[in-house]
Amino acid sequence: MKKKNFDAGLYREGLRQLRVLGITMLAIFVLASVLVPLSDAVSLSAYPEWSPSYTVHYSSYLSQNPLILLSFPVAAPLLTLALFGFLNKRNACDFYHAIPQTRNALFFSFFAAIVTWLVILIAVPALVSEAVCLLFPKYLEIYPLSALQICTQALIASIGVAAAVLLAMSMTGTIFTNLVVALLIIFLPRVLIYVVSSSLDSALPYVASLGEPALLDSRINLITGMSLIPFGSGMADDIWSSWRSGAYTLLLGIVYLLLARFCFARRKSETAGQAAVSRHFQTVFRMTVALVICLIPLTDIFSATVVHNWSAGRIYGIVVWYIIAVIVYFLYELISTRKWKTLLRTIPGLGLLALVNVAILLSMYGFYSSESEIQPSAEEISYVKVVPYDGSSYTYYSTPLEMNVETKNYFDEKIADVEITNPDVIRMVSKRLVDTVNYYKADDQEKYTAYQGYDSIDFTTFAIQTGRKTIYRNILLSNSDYKELGKALKQIKEVQELYQNLPEYDPVNMSSMGELDADSAGRVYETLREEIKTMEFEDWYVLVAEAGSGHRYTIGSYILMTLVWYQSGKSYEIILPISEQMPKTWTCYMEELFRAADPDADTAMTAMQKPDVNVISLEINKIIDGRWINWYASDQTIGGEPAMDEVIGEDGEISYAMNRQLQTELTEAMQKAKDRLPEPGDDYYYISWNWEENGEFDGTYRYFVFQEGELPEEIESYFDKAR
Amino acid sequence: MIKVNQVSKHFEDYEALKEISCTIPPGCIYGMVGSNGAGKSTFLRLLSGVYQADGGEILFDGEPVWENPGVKQYITLVPDELYFMGGASLERMAALYATFYPNFSRERYEYLTETFGLNPKKSTNTFSKGMKRQAAILLALSAHPKYLFLDETFDGLDPVMRHLVKSLICEDVLERQSTAIITSHSLRELEDTCDQLALLHKGGLVLESDIQNLRTTQFKVQVAFHETYTEKKFAELPVLHYSKRGSVASLIVRGDRDEIAAKIAAMNPVLMDILPLSLEEIFTYEMEALGYVFDPSGYGFAEGEGEKK
């Protein structure tokens, strides 16, 4: 009889054995996939279409079907524990090992059954959820690409967890040890990396993580990435929409599966019901569990050593944590074996654990020392590049093609490709690197002289090329260092071309993130592109620098136009200031903006003049000193002056409507201003309002340029006070 | 044929089997007896391919059993601790067996189910201990195995069922030349069923013999003489055990019955009776001859001061 690696009979048997559990979970998941979008549709249907609270619900697939997130932490381990649970019982284990099948066939056939159920548990609710959304197109949208991606990622993560649990079960023999070891397999490497790298990052703030391999990024692992979100590993959408994370997690799952198969084939049937398949394994697991606790005092020792910050309290804390680790060490043995007598035998293992602690500590300290000693002289540096700051955050946008795209600032990213060979800059970078390292090593940073006397110091990340090696460092620069750097950058032709030669408008790969639609944004963008070529580079450079950094405008008021642009697999955010220094662009922008207002606004303004029309809410917005200032007239009278009167309806019901005189005055002002466009530097207003006419509700919005004295006094004085 | 050659098995620090060697011919009902912890169940699990031997080899018609579905499809094991899938009925278990064992016979299964009086649609969780054992036996027999291994199978069976099971086993062996290995800690259980018997003690195969041969070559002789005599009088005879009460001596002798009777008759005894031995007695005296002393406090043998012959 030929030895098989898969048996259809065993596979069917596996499916059958998981039937009850699978169907129960399927029922719960399908119910959730119906109820969540249905409840969205029901709550949206309560709002009239004009209401700001009513929007077509643009729902990411994750918010539409949140229970899919339970596939990998709940469904996968439950299915695996259920089907391979025979490994924990002697009689069951003997039964399965007696049947005329190879261990390979048993392993892969049963695992295939688990994967089949996972596919069902993920795909069926997804289809049901999308079907519910299709039934309510008025309220709900579907996002099939996102759904496909999320479902695929969920399946990958689930397979990974199932394989990890199976690996644990192949090395242990009780439910308790199955779960503990599975958690160790899944989380310990990431926790170790996270804790050690966090500790090193704190000790080495000047070492940028940009040069680190992608493996160290906790978001790369779908399973642990999601679990570490509360500790700051990134947004859920960011992790789950990354195909790179999916590929890595799949690879990890395959590694787990192969290891599990290896252990399963060698596993002795008689070890069922024992804590681990051998004493050596039991020792390793016990030590590893205790090591997790040891990480706390370990990193504390490292930190205290590096910053010379030992104190009695700290020492006490470290001792207490190690005592806890020892207790956990013995407790694990006791709970897993349920034998007191073996505790004595485990004592030598503590020595080994201590050695592991020392080894980790020495490795951390070795890394710390070697990194902090890398301080190339100016002569050793070929060039430097200014890269986006290591600690900067990314912006996330949703675009028609993809949910939650991570975008980076266009100018920062492109400048990062520019090699700066200016000797003054190189000397400055070399010197400031030494200063930065010494600053952090100093016992009293405030007294460190290299940075005394400056208004502020801030980090800038540099890529420093020495020979064939590139190192990435966050270097503290003073404001005069920045000026020098800025001066040097401005002299580089590539930088000038970068700023003054923006890419051509690409309607397919560029998206406008503001009020303008694609065509309007394209027209404004092209106007800007041409106009900046005629500007002084210095002026344009400063405008862009202040727009991108969020600083206040420098010349009059300006507004921003933001585009998201895909190029060569990357996404860029281009933030462009539109200042009155750019009159053509300003005028073009304002024309497009005003034209983009609601076409029914004019009709609405006329309606406002009717006596039976009640304005039930109104909002006036204006930019003052770079901020939007808002004036409200609503039944909650939020901000602004109360401008609402009580209106008693025919049935005695009380409602609120805008003060009639104020409404009249405002309407008159709006009528006068409706055809005006702002000149560069003019203030403009955005007004939105909702009204009721004979029981029917509606709303609209529009831009206006008012002249002095045109607005009702109470509104004008409100904005005057806000200056 | 099953060939076991120098097979050893240990669990951590404990050596369960020590270099066991034996040959079990086809069409044989092989009984294995031993005290608790002797290694009987371990031996059967090794033969079934559940455990892997740490030393030696186990061959079925020249082929190893470990990870060999081609051999295992002809083996069924009824272990001491039974297992049925959670909540499964007998019908469901039969479907599972039919998947794994190519010789599984639906007709035999239905016949045996009726014979044993079990409800195939009921969950095995509702069966009593005895019924579960019956269910396990009938499933094993329905697979028409070439090799049937039964580990302390008769525990929990009433005498009627015991007799029925024994006859079914004998029927299989006779009709299809299958081989059965039955383990028990009771010789009486195996006495009337087995062709060969082996005794396991502390992981070692202490004694193995054909039952018929044992019965015919060992017997008790009660003899008395006028004159005073001692054990030396019988020095030329193959005596396993000598005891004397008054003037009557009891000899446990191994050898040709007629020849030994003639020799004793030539000594002119006043009394000479030749009596058959029970299997238990045979084993007891054989063990003593091997140097093991019967420990009456629990059934078992310990190494003692007996002379090994």
Q: Cβ separation of A269 and B70 shorter than 8 Å?
A: no
What the block records as the tokens of A411 is 């100018």
3-state secondary structure of B11: strand
Backbone angles phi, psi at A565, to 5 degrees: -135, 130
Best of A97, A271, A278 to disrupt the B interface by mutation (most B CBs within 10 Å)?
A: A97
Nearest residue of A to residue B82, measured between CA atoms: A91
pLDDT digits (tens, 9 = 90+) for B16-38: 999 999 999 999 999 998 877 88
3-state secondary structure of B158: coil
In this structure, chain A runs to a length of 723
Average pLDDT of the residues in A135-163? 88
pLDDT of A680 reads: 75
Q: Report how far apart the first and last C-alpha atoms of chain A are (Å, whole number).
A: 90
Q: Cβ separation of A101 and B69 shorter than 8 Å?
A: yes
Backbone angles phi, psi at A554, to 5 degrees: -110, -30
Q: Cβ separation of B99 and A10 shorter than 8 Å?
A: yes
Is B309 inside any structural domain?
A: no
User: Which residue type does A495 have?
Assistant: V
Whether residue A222 contacts residue A160, with contact meaning beta carbons closer than 8 Å, is answered with yes
Q: Cβ separation of A270 and B51 shorter than 8 Å?
A: yes
**A469-478 and A457-466 strand pairing:** antiparallel
pLDDT of B309 reads: 40
Rounded to a whole number of angstroms, the distance from the CA of A124 to the nearest CA of chain B is: 27
Count of other CB atoms within 10 angstroms of residue A187:
18
Q: Cβ separation of A13 and B96 shorter than 8 Å?
A: yes
Nearest residue of A to residue B70, measured between CA atoms: A1
How many A×B Cβ pairs under 8 Å?
63
Nearest residue of B to residue A103, measured between CA atoms: B67
In whole angstroms, give the CA distance from residue B172 to residue B179.
Answer: 8
Q: Which residues contact A613 (CB under 8 A, 6 or more apart)?
A: A607, A691, A692, A693
Same domain, B242 and B147: no
Q: Cβ separation of B73 and A100 shorter than 8 Å?
A: yes
In whole angstroms, give the CA distance from residue A309 to residue A312.
Answer: 10
Burial class (CB in 10 A: 0-12, 13-18, 19+), A715: buried
3-state secondary structure of B293: strand
Best of B13, B93, B99 to disrupt the A interface by mutation (most A CBs within 10 Å)?
A: B99
Nearest to A462 by CA among A145, A282, A208, A709: A208
Nearest to B200 by CA among B219, B176, B216, B184: B184
Q: Tell me the CA distances in angstroms from B81 to A90, A284, B126, B151, B182, one per residue in order.
A: 8, 31, 17, 9, 15
Whether residue A561 contacts residue A589, with contact meaning beta carbons closer than 8 Å, is answered with yes
pLDDT of A640 reads: 45
Confidence of residue A60 (pLDDT cuts 50, 70, 90): low
Residue that is last in its domain, among B202, B222, B252: B202
Q: Cβ separation of A98 and B101 shorter than 8 Å?
A: no
Nearest to B165 by CA among B188, B148, B187: B148
Cα angle at B211 between B210 and B216, to 5 degrees?
105
Confidence of residue A638 (pLDDT cuts 50, 70, 90): very low
Confidence of residue A335 (pLDDT cuts 50, 70, 90): very high
Is B112 inside any structural domain?
A: yes
Is B120 inside any structural domain?
A: yes
Rounded to a whole number of angstroms, the distance from the CA of B48 to the nearest CA of chain A is: 6
Q: Does B81 touch chain A (CB under 8 A)?
A: yes
Same domain, B117 and B227: no
In whole angstroms, give the CA distance from residue A677 to residue A680.
Answer: 10
Is B208 inside any structural domain?
A: no
| Residues B264-267: contacts with CB under 8 Å, at least 24 apart | B264/B221, B264/B223, B264/B234, B264/B237, B267/B223, B267/B225, B267/B233
- Check residues A87 and A194 and name the one with the higher pLDDT: A87
Smallest Cβ–Cβ distance between B69 and the set A3, A89, A92 belongs to A3
Q: B51 to chain A: which residues are within 8 Å by CB?
A: 268-270
Best of A96, A99, A277 to disrupt the B interface by mutation (most B CBs within 10 Å)?
A: A99
- Residue that is written with structure tokens 């007709």 in the block: B107
Q: What is the CATH number of the domain that holds B158?
A: 3.40.50.300
Is B77 inside any structural domain?
A: yes
Q: Which residues contact B142 (CB under 8 A, 6 or more apart)?
A: B94, B97, B104, B105, B106, B108, B109, B112
Average pLDDT of the residues in B121-125? 92
Q: Does B302 touch chain A (CB under 8 A)?
A: no
Q: Which residues contact A511 (CB under 8 A, 6 or more apart)?
A: A397, A399, A400, A518, A563, A564, A565
Same domain, B276 and B131: no
- Point out which residues pair with B220 in neighbouring strands: B252, B275
Q: A269 to chain B: which residues are within 8 Å by CB?
A: 45, 50-51
pLDDT digits (tens, 9 = 90+) for A289-298: 999 999 999 9
pLDDT reading at A657 higher than 80: no
Q: Cβ separation of B81 and A95 shorter than 8 Å?
A: no
Smallest Cβ–Cβ distance between A92 and the set B70, B71, B83 belongs to B83
Smallest Cβ–Cβ distance between A98 and the set B50, B68, B85 belongs to B50
Count of other CB atoms within 10 angstroms of residue B246:
6
Same domain, B226 and B195: no
What the block records as the tokens of A701 is 């919005």
Q: B45 to chain A: which residues are within 8 Å by CB?
A: 94, 269
In whole angstroms, give the CA distance from residue A135 to residue B50.
Answer: 56
Q: Which residues contact A189 (CB under 8 A, 6 or more apart)?
A: none
Cα angle at A299 between A298 and A305, to 5 degrees?
95
Same domain, B194 and B244: no
pLDDT of B308 reads: 42
| Per-residue 3-state assignment (H helix, E strand, C coil) for A264-276 | HHHCCHHHCCCCE
pLDDT of A109 reads: 96
Confidence of residue A557 (pLDDT cuts 50, 70, 90): very low
In whole angstroms, give the CA distance from residue B172 to residue B74.
Answer: 13
pLDDT digits (tens, 9 = 90+) for B47-104: 999 999 999 999 999 999 999 999 999 999 999 999 998 788 999 999 999 988 999 9
Whether residue A219 contacts residue A239, with contact meaning beta carbons closer than 8 Å, is answered with yes
pLDDT digits (tens, 9 = 90+) for A303-329: 999 887 889 999 999 999 999 999 999
Q: What is the CATH number of the domain that holds B252?
A: 3.30.70
Q: What is the DSSP letter of A420?
A: B
**Domain range spanning residue B277?**
213-303
Residue that is last in its domain, among B202, B233, B248: B202
Same domain, B232 and B271: yes
Rounded to a whole number of angstroms, the distance from the CA of A25 to the nearest CA of chain B is: 19
Is B207 inside any structural domain?
A: no
Confidence of residue A107 (pLDDT cuts 50, 70, 90): very high
Nearest residue of B to residue A280, measured between CA atoms: B12
Smallest Cβ–Cβ distance between A95 and the set B11, B73, B83 belongs to B83
pLDDT of A558 reads: 55
The string of DSSP codes covering B230-256 is -GGGGTTS-EEEEEEETTEEEEEEES-
3-state secondary structure of A9: helix
Same domain, B40 and B183: yes
> Residue A545 is inside which H or E element, if any?
helix A537-549
Smallest Cβ–Cβ distance between B100 and the set A89, A91, A99 belongs to A99
Nearest residue of B to residue A271, measured between CA atoms: B11
Same domain, B223 and B284: yes
Nearest residue of B to residue A8, measured between CA atoms: B99
Same domain, B243 and B146: no
In whole angstroms, give the CA distance from residue B234 to residue B223.
Answer: 11
Whether residue A608 contacts residue A702, with contact meaning beta carbons closer than 8 Å, is answered with no
Is B43 inside any structural domain?
A: yes
Residue that is last in its domain, among B202, B225, B246: B202
Same domain, B135 and B48: yes
Confidence of residue A632 (pLDDT cuts 50, 70, 90): confident
Confidence of residue B286 (pLDDT cuts 50, 70, 90): confident
pLDDT digits (tens, 9 = 90+) for A690-719: 887 877 778 888 888 888 888 888 888 888
- Residue that is written with structure tokens 């009824």 in the block: B78
Best of B83, B133, B139, B152 to disrupt the A interface by mutation (most A CBs within 10 Å)?
A: B83
This model of the complex carries an ipTM of: 0.87
Same domain, B11 and B137: yes
Confidence of residue B306 (pLDDT cuts 50, 70, 90): very low
Q: Tell me the CA distances in angstroms from B214 to A13, A359, B196, B211, B241, one per residue in order.
A: 48, 68, 10, 5, 15
Nearest to A361 by CA among A303, A291, A298: A298
- Check residues A468 and B222 and name the one with the higher pLDDT: B222
Task: Determine what percent of chain B is predicted with pLDDT higher than 90.
Answer: 51
Best of A16, A90, A93, A95 to disrupt the B interface by mutation (most B CBs within 10 Å)?
A: A95
Instruction: Report the domain count for chain B.
Output: 2
Average pLDDT of the residues in B126-136? 91
Q: Report how far apart the first and last C-alpha atoms of chain B are (Å, whole number).
A: 30
In whole angstroms, give the CA distance from residue A137 to residue A408.
Answer: 34
Is B308 inside any structural domain?
A: no
Count of H helices and E strands in chain B? 10, 16
Same domain, B234 and B198: no
